[in-house]
Amino acid sequence: MKTLLILAIISLGFIFSAFEMPYSNSKINNIQLLDSIPEMNQQILVFVKSKLKKKVGTGECWDLASEALKAVNATWDMKYKFGKELNYKNENILPGDIIQFEGVVLKYDVNGKEFTEKMLHHTAIIYEVKDNTHFTLAHQNNGYSGRKVGLSLLDLSTIKKGKIKIYRAQ
């Protein structure tokens, strides 16, 4: 049963990666580095893009953020405070920001089937901001891409339990 669930989650990741969601206004593989994105965030995105489909460090989710921050000489606590904490409900979230999940349970529907996903302690980098509640995440050690860096979608309205924190590198 556990194997079936893992295969379903991995399959779902491939399904999501095969099409653009209706709220998307740009292509995932075509990052445009805009003047409105801080230089450090731009550098993080360049780092992440160079690591897509590759394992960073030991393949743990935290390794991607850690290595990205080291690559751009960011100042951080070397634990899970990845820079300046943002109030994601009131501040603009930008590509290159880092998101930390704690005890998060997501519930969402795909073609009439309900899925539950748990991110009990997970780190990802926001790769693309589609709007203020929809993001494309770059992360590893997950059901979508395994121990290699991959992209998946996050809709904040699907969070049913837990907390997220979003940080901007400094």
Residue 168 has pLDDT above 50, yes or no: yes
113-130 tens-digit pLDDT: 999 999 999 999 999 999
Strand partners of residue 150: 139
Give the containing element (helix H, strand E) for 44. Answer: helix 39-51
* Residue 33, phi-psi category: left (phi > 0), alpha (psi -120 to 50), beta (remainder): beta
76-122 tens-digit pLDDT: 998 889 999 999 999 999 999 999 999 999 999 989 999 999 999 99
d(CA 99, CA 123): 6
In this structure, are residues 110 and 19 in contact, taking their beta carbons and an 8 Å threshold? no
In this structure, are residues 116 and 41 in contact, taking their beta carbons and an 8 Å threshold? no
Closest CA to 93 of 20, 143, 36, 49: 36
Please report the pLDDT score of residue 18 as a whole number: 37
Torsion angle in degrees (nearest 10) through CA of 151, 64, 156, 43: -90
127-154 tens-digit pLDDT: 999 998 999 999 999 988 999 999 999 9
Q: What is the largest CA-CA distance in the chain?
A: 49
46-80 tens-digit pLDDT: 999 999 999 999 999 999 999 999 999 999 998 88
Structural Rg of the chain based on CA atoms: 15
d(CA 156, CA 96): 17
Task: Pinpoint the alpha helices (H) of the chain.
Answer: 2-17, 39-51, 61-71
Torsion 57-129-109-112 (CA) sign: negative
Give the count of beta carbons closer than 10 Å to the beta carbon of residue 83. Answer: 20
Question: Strand 134-139 relative to strand 113-131: parallel, antiparallel, unpaired?
Answer: antiparallel
